[in-house]
Amino acid sequence: MKMASNWKLCILGATAFTGLFFLAGCSSMSTAAGGTTANQPGSAPMVITVSDAPLGNILSAKITLSAIAVAPTGGSPVSVLSNPETVELSGLGAMQEPIELTSLAPGTYNSVTVTVSAAQVTYLDPTTGQPVTASATLSSPSVTVALNPALSFTTTSEVDLHLAFNLAQSFAISGSTVTFTPAISTSAAQVENENNTDREVEVTGMVVAISSTSITVQSGDSGQQFTFAINGSTLFPSGVTPATIAQNSIVQVKGQTQSDGTLLALSITPLVAGMMGSGQQEEGAKGIVVMVARNTAGNLTSFTMVPQEDFGSMMPSAMTLNVLVASSTTYGINEDATQLGLSASMFNASEIFPGQAVMVGGAMDSSGNLGATQITLGGENVAGVLAAAPQASGSNLDFSLALPVPSFLSSYEKLVTLNAVAGPNTQYGNGLTASSFTSLAANTPIQVHGYLLVDQSGNYLLTASEIAQPETPETPEGN
């Protein structure tokens, strides 16, 4: 999210979605290209969020949204994006991410036009098995789709415009030629009518400020700042309190929009300590492991990852990042994974493998390597089809995903299907519930955000944090 003229946005992080973020010092907002100003007297605050249906062989997908406009009944399109915004989509999956906070006059809006000015993708080459980065040709930069049902409201309570990108239908990869045509589905509603899952956010970034009652984080994706309230219900890992979290450290916050439009932190997990003993600022990244190196004794010495987000001022802009591992490197999981029943002891150096999502922190050396002080298990986004209907197992639901080919898990780990489990704390999105999930038949497409581990017998298990059915892209108007 970019800062609009004459607006001061204090907002927290970017791996999640529909919340009204703390807004201070608001006056008029300048008109953005492609429409009229949205900041009219009596307007409702509006948040724009994005998500994606991931594509199995895409390791990173960054697009720049240059304009978004909604069209009212009988009126001219209204611009709701103040400045171009670049967002990484492949790391979202069933999660949603905020990209703009604006305002919109009450009325009825029937369509939305989205314009993309750039798209860059890192994908797994099916021939070499190596990651390749390419800038995509924009075959049709703008797309207009209907809001169905139309967004119609008369009050000034917050509204949410959600854009769900389908990467499989947006990107066309043929040899070394990549084209991008935005394939999206849209939905819009008043936030007060959305369920708790639709109001959750997840943000990873650097701590700008923290107290006993709030935390402000600069997102590693958008670079914007988001503020969450902290109260007695906020969960922390054992031994962690607001007083032990330092400024400049890197944290992951899972939060929820409140009825007054503020954000409440449901859980906070420190990922990187911040300043190292030498006074050097610690750097970090979040992404997918693509290569692992071990010594003759089988101990992990380094790995290569494709960053989807990075934290700190010294991180290189290269396609891949080489991470050096030492005996002093520590390992952990976030509080979200803990709530799903995973323990910190389940993730260690032997658990790191190509295709796994991780978050790392440490110091950059003169050669551009990151010396890892801490490695945290990251959230994995996996798309596939159900190999069979989910089966109840106590309080859990066991299921298997048939993986697309090519995908980084099928290429790196030779997986055809991936076993997964949903527990009592698993969330469901896009209208799916735990009950309706059990009724899904084999070959039903789903997308899962969760935590991937492998046991000593070589059995892979994805513990699901969120499950959703991918939304079908809408037919552009005029087609």
Domains of the chain, with CATH numbers? Answer: 8-198 (no CATH), 283-377 (2.40.50.140), 380-468 (2.40.50.140)
| Three-class DSSP category at 268 | strand
Show the tokens assigned to 64: 């720049």
Digit-coded pLDDT (tens) for 26-57:
333 333 333 333 445 578 877 777 777 777 78
Residue (of 275, 285, 292) closest to 368 by Cα position: 285
| Three-class DSSP category at 198 | helix
What's the confidence (pLDDT) of residue 43? Answer: 83
Q: Report the half-sphere exposure of 98 (CA within 13 A, side-chain side).
A: 36
* Distance between CA atoms of residues 79 and 61, nearest Å: 25
Please give the torsion angle defined by the CA atoms of residues 23, 24, 30 and 31, in that order, rounded to the nearest 10 degrees: 10
Peptide bond into 182 cis (omega under 30): no
What's the confidence (pLDDT) of residue 259? Answer: 60
Are 440 and 415 spatial neighbours (Cβ–Cβ below 8 Å)? no
Are 440 and 384 spatial neighbours (Cβ–Cβ below 8 Å)? no
* Distance between CA atoms of residues 128 and 124, nearest Å: 8
* Distance between CA atoms of residues 343 and 457, nearest Å: 18
Residue (of 115, 119, 116, 100) closest to 161 by Cα position: 100
Are 333 and 377 spatial neighbours (Cβ–Cβ below 8 Å)? yes
| Phi, psi for residue 402 in degrees, rounded to 5 | -80, 120
What number of other Cβ atoms are within 10 A of residue 429's Cβ?
22
State the pTM of this model: 0.81
Total count of residues recorded for the chain: 479
Residue type, 26: C
Residue (of 316, 261, 256) closest to 284 by Cα position: 316
Query: What's the DSSP call for residue 245?
Result: P
Digit-coded pLDDT (tens) for 432-454:
899 999 999 999 999 999 999 99
* Distance between CA atoms of residues 24 and 348, nearest Å: 43
Show the low-confidence residues of the chain (pLDDT under 70). 1-41, 93-94, 222, 259-261, 272-281, 313-316, 478-479
Are 154 and 204 spatial neighbours (Cβ–Cβ below 8 Å)? no
What's the confidence (pLDDT) of residue 41? Answer: 56
What's the confidence (pLDDT) of residue 318? Answer: 76
Q: Where are the beta strands (DSSP E) in 22-75?
A: 23-24, 44-53, 58-72
Are 235 and 336 spatial neighbours (Cβ–Cβ below 8 Å)? no
* Distance between CA atoms of residues 185 and 183, nearest Å: 7
Residue type, 167: L
